[in-house]
Amino acid sequence: MAKSKLILISGGPLTGKTTVARKVFEHYENSALCDGDWCWCVNPLSLEDTRLRNGDRNMAFLVSNYLNSGFEKVVFSSIVLTDPEARENILRDITAKDYEIISFQLTCSEDTLRERHLAMGGSEAVSFFWLSLPPYPGEYEISTDGKTPDEVCEEICKIIDSEKKATVKKSAPKAETAKSVKKTAAKKTETKTVTKAATKSAAKKTETKTAAKKATAKAPAKKTK
């Protein structure tokens, strides 16, 4: 029996993830759909809200039930999947033992987001915050610019059907990758800071020495009696 596939679809508001996730779910038989945004539907939604960890557990519980029930495809979409910490919390708490993950992040241009925002009747200023978030390590980034939901669904399904590499998710290797990326970035920043400080210090010493030499050269020589 083939391993179940957990299909993650992330993205910010109005990138099309909810509609596309449903299209992908309907494309496959023996499939299940988890709309994570309904598992933790609160106002306002903030990734900084510590109560979101309760939402993480809700999502992990539902996805676990689907996977353990033997569905071949489990489609899981949520805005919180754009946050590495939230994603890692959810995946860590999934109880299924043997399955594959294929992950997608939907994105679009600022112009497209603005157009969709206005078409939805948005009156407040549109936020481009979610578009600035990088894709999770190893996931496919899919632009929805100029595409219908059916076209995006077809693009995603082609990748799913051709995906040969198994990413068995229980030890959460991608979570470790994300953490290592953060640590590496922090280390590089720290190294650059130290290097800049050292360079400034060295430059200051050189400047001091140069000034001292000039002062010595300009000073009048003492007369010898």
Average of per-residue pLDDT across 181-202:
44
| Residue 59, token pair as written in the block | 């999502």
Q: What is the pLDDT of residue 99?
A: 96
Confirm if 178 and 84 have CB atoms less than 8 A apart. yes
Q: What is the pLDDT of residue 164?
A: 57
Q: What is the pLDDT of residue 91?
A: 96
Q: What is the pLDDT of residue 101?
A: 96
Tell me the three state secondary structure of residue 213: helix
Q: Alpha helices, DSSP H only, in 69-143? A: 84-92, 110-119
Query: Where does the pLDDT of residue 47 fall: very low under 50, low under 70, confident under 90, or very high at 90 and above?
Result: confident
H or E element, residue 76 = strand 73-77
Q: For the chain, first and last CA: distance in Å? A: 107
Q: What is the pLDDT of residue 127?
A: 85
Is the pLDDT score of 61 beyond 90?
yes
Query: Where does the pLDDT of residue 211 fall: very low under 50, low under 70, confident under 90, or very high at 90 and above?
Result: low
| Residue 161, token pair as written in the block | 């059907």
Query: Where does the pLDDT of residue 121 fall: very low under 50, low under 70, confident under 90, or very high at 90 and above?
Result: confident
Residue from 66, 60, 96 nearest 169 by CA: 96
Distance of CA 18 to the CA centre of its chain: 17
Residue from 33, 43, 113, 27 nearest 77 by CA: 33
Confirm if 114 and 63 have CB atoms less than 8 A apart. no
Average of per-residue pLDDT across 103-118:
94
Q: What is the pLDDT of residue 157?
A: 98
Q: For the ranges 36-40, 64-68, 151-155, 179-183, which has the lowest average pLDDT?
A: 179-183
Q: What is the pLDDT of residue 4?
A: 95
